[in-house]
Amino acid sequence: MFWQQFTNWISLGAMYAMLAIGYTMVYGIIKLINFAHGEIFMCGAFFTWWFMSVFHIPLPVAALLGIMMATGLGIAVERIAYRPLRNAPRFAVVISVLGVSIFLQNMARIIWGAEFQVFEVDFGIPPLILGTVIIPFKKIFIFGTSVICMASLAVFVKKTYLGKAMRATAADWEAAEMMGINVNMVIVLTFAIGSAMAAVAGILFAVNYNSIDPYMGFNAGMKAFAAAVLGGIGNIYGAMLGGLFLGVVEGVGSAYISSMYRDAFAFGLLILALIFRPKGLLGEGKTGE
């Protein structure tokens, strides 16, 4: 029974980790929280659903299109809500991005309706049976996809020129600019990667729960942020760890304490983390202080 649930928690945690990476990456570069990140996640799932249900495109292609559109949306968010305010006070930027988030959420509600939409995917592959534990293929799919995405990101950031440019910009914006790094390009790239990861997470989320709604981004976004803070914001590996940890905490909390308050556990954990360990589990830099 425990191990059965454990697979659920881990696959949920992997999705949070994917989403948390976006927060952490954007924060690393521009030192601000991307409040619209959860909406990108939601839009990624909705775009995919839309291609699948309206145009009857198969999941892999629809997902690819959905990810591309969500990535475009993420870049647009940067253009509209961040770039014009690059010299504005932080306060203004926070409000402006919050505005984008409200805008996207309600636009989605108007276009796709406030109700749940069914997101049915049938892989047609039998579950994996390990003794008494039955792992449905979709859990394996979710976990596998997340791991592949995160591993490729880690390699990208570590090995490629662009990845190094990103790390340099995160460390010192001005110095990076003086070294000839196109900082604007790096910022756009960061938003693009973060958004793409969010979109993948959104699709996996939809696959897991078989349903999507315009408000799914808010809760998931908050939790992923909690995961990012937990892991030490700005640290990609921290975000991965934080996401998995959060998935387990939420699972344990709702299984053994009360399932009604499952969302409250994540928020409570976020508040506790910020109070007692603002630098996070793997934190290096300074955070909220």
Partner 1 sequence: MNKTRLDDLSGGSQATSGDNFLQQGVMAALAGRLARFSGIGKIALLCVFLMLPLMIQSNYAMRVIIYICLYIVLAMGLNVVMGFTGLLNIGHAAFYATGAYTTAILMKQFGMSFWLTVPAGMTLGVVLGVAIGLPTLRLRDDYLAMVTLGFGQIVYIVANNWMGLTRGPRGIADIPSPFLGWGDWAIPIDSYTAFYYLIFSFVLFTIFACIRVRDSRVGLAWTAIREDEDVAAVMGVNLVLYKTMSFAFSAALGALAGSFFAVFQHFVSPNSFTILESVIIITIPIIGGLGSIPGTIVGAVIMIGLPEIFRAASEYRMVVVGAFMVLMMIFKPEGLFGKKQFQQMYKA
Binding residues for partner 1, per CB under 8 A? 29-33, 35, 80-81, 84-96, 98-107, 110, 173, 218-219, 222, 225-226, 229, 260-261, 263-264, 267-268, 270-271, 274-275, 278, 287-289
Q: What six digits make up the tokens of 288?
A: 């909220």
**Taking the C-alpha atoms of 207, 212, 217 and 222 in order, what is their torsion angle to the nearest 10 degrees?**
-70
Rounded CA gap, 125 and 123, in Å? 5
Grouping H, G, I as helix, E, B as strand and the rest as coil, residue 198 is helix
Nearer to partner 1, 211 or 219 (CB): 219
CB of 95 to partner 1, least distance (A): 5
Q: Are 225 and 39 in contact (CB under 8 A)?
A: no
In angstroms, the CA 240 to CA 146 distance is 10
Would you say 50 or 225 has its CB closer to partner 1?
Answer: 225
CB of residue 206 to partner 1, shortest distance in Å: 22
Q: How far is the CB of 152 from partner 1 (least distance, A)?
A: 27
Mutual orientation of helices 236-256 and 137-159 as an angle, nearest 10°?
160
* Minimum distance from residue 29 beta carbon to partner 1 (Å): 8
Hey, what amino acid is at 221? G
Say if CB 129 and CB 61 are below 8 A apart: no
Nearer to partner 1 among residue 136 and residue 285 (C-beta) = 285
**The tokens 């990456």 sit on which residue?**
25
* Nearest residue (CB) to partner 1, 33 versus 204: 33
Taking the least distance from each CB to partner 1, the nearer of 32 and 154 is 32
Identity of the amino acid at 27: Y
Q: Residue 49 in contact with residue 108, Cβ under 8 Å? A: no
Q: Are 150 and 238 in contact (CB under 8 A)?
A: no
Work out how close the CB of 103 gets to partner 1 at its nearest, in angstroms, rounded to a whole number: 3
The nearer residue to partner 1, 103 or 237, going by C-beta atoms, is 103
Q: How far is the CB of 278 from partner 1 (least distance, A)?
A: 7
CB of 190 to partner 1, least distance (A): 12
Q: Which amino acid is at 61?
A: V
CA distance 253 to 268: 11
Please say which residue, 102 or 130, places its beta carbon nearer to partner 1. 102
